[in-house]
């Protein structure tokens, strides 16, 4: 974790006792496309949905430690830089897990972006999404389930910090 650069002004919330938190990472390639992976159809939470790299913050972890761990576990890449907090949302899944708070970040990673080491038991596909591909992120999603689409759209459609 010590080698991860966190840009000035990036907010990192500290979970209160008893709160459940998740983290998400928007990762861009050199073409400015964002990485997403499709959750396996047998997943209890959001089956078949496109998702960011990320997951639950484990007890005793900071949000940034969880972000680095999830990036490594889900892609084999190494978190290098946290550029921007894209937003914090609260949501309740259909898995009985209760209210979760989610912090999503624009990040940079080290590793071969052409060959992610996906957790194939949890994900069935991956892709890179630019402005022309955003519609794919809404596949099989209800109108209220567009968080992933909206986060990626915010970034690939010109978040001011991108390319700065």
CA angle 30, 148, 155 (to 5 degrees): 40
pLDDT for the residue numbered 126: 95
State the DSSP string of 14-80. Answer: -PPTT-EEEEEEEEB-TTSPEEEEEEPTT-SSSTT-EE-EEEEPPTT--HHHHHHHHHHHHHS-EEE
Q: Which residue has the tokens 């910090």?
A: 161
Strand partners, 128: 35
pLDDT for the residue numbered 70: 97
pLDDT for the residue numbered 1: 54
Nearest partner of 111 among 80, 149, 147, 77, judged by Cα: 77
pLDDT for the residue numbered 48: 87
pLDDT beneath 50: ranges in the chain: 161-164
- 82 neighbors 6 (Cβ within 8 angstroms): yes
pLDDT for the residue numbered 147: 86
């Amino acid at each position: 974790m010590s080698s991860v650069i966190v840009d000035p002004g990036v907010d990192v919330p500290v979970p209160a006792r008893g709160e459940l938190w998740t983290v998400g990472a928007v990762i861009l390639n050199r073409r400015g496309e964002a990485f997403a992976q499709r959750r396996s159809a047998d997943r209890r939470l959001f089956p078949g949905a496109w998702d960011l790299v990320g997951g639950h913050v484990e007890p005793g972890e900071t949000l940034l430690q969880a972000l680095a761990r999830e990036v490594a576990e889900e892609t084999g890449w190494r978190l290098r830089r946290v550029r921007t907090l894209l937003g914090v949302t609260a949501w309740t899944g259909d898995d009985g897990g209760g209210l979760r708070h989610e912090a999503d970040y624009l990040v940079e990673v080290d590793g071969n972006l052409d060959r992610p080491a996906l957790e194939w038991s949890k994900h069935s596909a991956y892709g890179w999404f630019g402005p022309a591909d955003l519609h794919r992120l809404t596949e099989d999603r209800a109108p209220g389930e567009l968080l992933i689409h909206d986060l990626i759209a915010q970034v690939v459609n010109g978040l001011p910090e991108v390319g700065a």
